[in-house]
Amino acid sequence: MQIMATRILSSLHHVSSSASAAKRCLGLYCLWHRSISGFGASAAVDVDPSIPPVQIDHSQLLINGQFVDAASGKTFPTYDPRTGDIIANVAEGDREDVNRAVHAARKAFDEGPWPKMTAYERSRVMLRFADLLEKHNDEVAAIETWDNGKTYEQAANVEIPMVVRVFRYYAGWADKIHGLTVPGDGPHHIQTLHEPIGVAGQIVPWNFPLLIYSWKVAPALSCGNTVVLKTAEQTPLSALYVSKLFLEAGLPPGVLNIISGFGPSAGAALCSHMDVDKLAFTGSTSTGKIVLGLSAQSNLKPVTLELGGKSPFIVCKDADVDAAVETAHSAIFFNQGQCCCAGSRTFVHESIYDEFVEKAKARALKRVVGDPFKNGVEQGPQIDSVQFEKILNYIRSGVESGATLESGGQRIGSKGYYIQPTVFSNVQDNMSIAKDEIFGPVQSILKFKDLEEVIRRANATSYGLAAGVFTKNLESANTLMHALRVGTVWINCYDVLDATIPFGGYKMSGQGRVKGMHSLSSYLQVKAVVTAMKNPAWL
């Protein structure tokens, strides 16, 4: 893929990939002023079809260091969610292609240089890749926005710099993985070795295609494993592009293989493959169960699952209401609401409930929805027609079940997959919009009386991925952080997802952790070595 510089300068705003620029992006609001308060079902979104000026050069599978067609010759379209138009036709991998990719990864692990390199050499390859990714920040962000619909500001100023940070973080771990010497009860020398597990099969979702690519690929490679990664069928393009950069950085053939295709064919083949040693999956809880089952039916390969959520965002009576409204707004509407840890159940204390609802409604009405390539746009389209219709059905169910529709609730225009930011009040725990993962821009605001009640209600779900707490009271914060059965608790903030912070869920939100040092154990085997000692000098 190539960016045509003159058109990029005229069409896209200037991007700095520095950390300070990434932080500044989080505070950009309404630079492109267009209130959605007048949007109805017939309003249109102004989309410039000339953006982005990106040429698709890689739409094939990446197997053994080469971009190749699917064995069947089949392709499938990937769509621009701004318009519903086809961006490109991508090679459709299936079982035979998975076999080819796993064979390449197995050979690269058993015979190839990657696990035999020094850890320092592996680190240098990963650092060179991070440098290339940083250099190509703008075009990678453009691809991600075009294929996914997330705003360009978010992709260019936040997500791609985060991907760079993740790879640099794990590159730093490569030469710091080591075993131990341990004491025993007899005349033996005892040590443990931490060794790469082998071929890792990985499946990434469509909501954060490249960010979660980094969460999976970086620790696996840092530990010396090889990878076969299946992209989401909705968003295959960015992984193919950046994997080309990985080859340029010196990654040996077969170490990283990319299969684009569908779950029932390519995904199932990868999960059940007898020569895959480890699985890592991010996606829905229902699909996670299938992944776990396929592992159990094949070779009992270990599985890391990062699944769905219905995360509570709890606003206590002492909270700064204005700050809480803004943070809760971001917690649910970030990334078009397509976020597994979205704060989709907003619990507000009864003493400030009415004030919070009015301000949450006003904030939603000011949210800028439009072409994600335009400056200041806060919300782009949903990923595709399936997700779009699912969200609208949930909105209708909220109205039918008696919740109060404060704002939004309709599609925007007749082309593309845009939905008004939607706020419901008077939501009850038994309503579908309070129980189910909607994965869209729908805020449900519920009322509570005291901490004991909100703890019980917040935990009354099969999910346990994350939670937000907004309070000035240290005792309340401490009580809630211990009582909430979730993998992450954000206090007076939300969606802080640094490379160093472990992320994962309790209950049906998954098993294992991604990011941070904790994820390394998922890609390592621990081997105990016991050597007999005859007449040791110290006895």
Residue 25 designated active-site:
no
DSSP character string of 91-140: E-B-HHHHHHHHHHHHHHHHTSSTTTS-HHHHHHHHHHHHHHHHHTHHHH
| Rounded average pLDDT over 240-266 | 97
Asked whether the beta carbons of 341 and 311 are under 8 A apart, the reply is: yes
C-alpha 133/C-alpha 34 separation (Å) is 33
Q: What architecture is domain 312-498?
A: 3-Layer(aba) Sandwich (3.40)
CA geometry: angle at 31 spanning 25 and 32, to 5°?
125
Collapsed DSSP state (helix, strand, coil) of residue 428: coil
| Rounded average pLDDT over 478-499 | 97
| Rounded average pLDDT over 388-416 | 96
C-alpha 108/C-alpha 260 separation (Å) is 20
pLDDT band at 507 (very low <50, low <70, confident <90, very high): very high
In the predicted structure, residue 24 carries a pLDDT above the cut 60: no
pLDDT band at 6 (very low <50, low <70, confident <90, very high): very low
Collapsed DSSP state (helix, strand, coil) of residue 324: helix
| Percent of the chain predicted with pLDDT > 70 | 91
For residue 259, what is the enclosing H or E element? strand 256-260
CA geometry: angle at 413 spanning 77 and 416, to 5°?
10
Asked whether the beta carbons of 238 and 150 are under 8 A apart, the reply is: no
Residue 340 designated active-site:
yes
| Rounded average pLDDT over 477-503 | 97
If 0-12 CB within 10 Å is exposed, 13-18 middle and 19+ buried, where does residue 75 land? Answer: middle
Q: How far is CA 165 from CA 162, 332, 457, 513, in A?
A: 5, 25, 37, 18
In the predicted structure, residue 271 carries a pLDDT above the cut 60: yes
| Rounded average pLDDT over 155-178 | 97
Active-site residue, selected from the candidate residues 92, 306, 406, 437: 306
Active-site residue, selected from the candidate residues 139, 340, 378, 437: 340
In the predicted structure, residue 9 carries a pLDDT above the cut 60: no
C-alpha 254/C-alpha 245 separation (Å) is 14
In the predicted structure, residue 58 carries a pLDDT above the cut 90: no
pLDDT at 43: 59
In the predicted structure, residue 157 carries a pLDDT above the cut 50: yes
In the predicted structure, residue 331 carries a pLDDT above the cut 60: yes
Q: Which CATH class is domain 50-307?
A: alpha beta
Nearest CA-CA partner of 379 in 75, 154, 110, 90: 154
pLDDT band at 23 (very low <50, low <70, confident <90, very high): very low
pLDDT band at 54 (very low <50, low <70, confident <90, very high): confident
pLDDT band at 536 (very low <50, low <70, confident <90, very high): low
Domain ranges within the chain, ordered by starting residue: 50-307, 312-498
C-alpha 327/C-alpha 322 separation (Å) is 9
pLDDT band at 290 (very low <50, low <70, confident <90, very high): very high
In the predicted structure, residue 4 carries a pLDDT above the cut 50: no
C-alpha 463/C-alpha 267 separation (Å) is 24
Q: Tell me the pLDDT tens digit for each residue of 80-131.
A: 999 999 999 999 999 999 999 999 999 999 998 999 999 999 999 999 999 9
**How does the average pLDDT of the chain come out, rounded?**
91
| Rounded average pLDDT over 178-204 | 94
Q: Supply the pTM of this predicted model.
A: 0.90
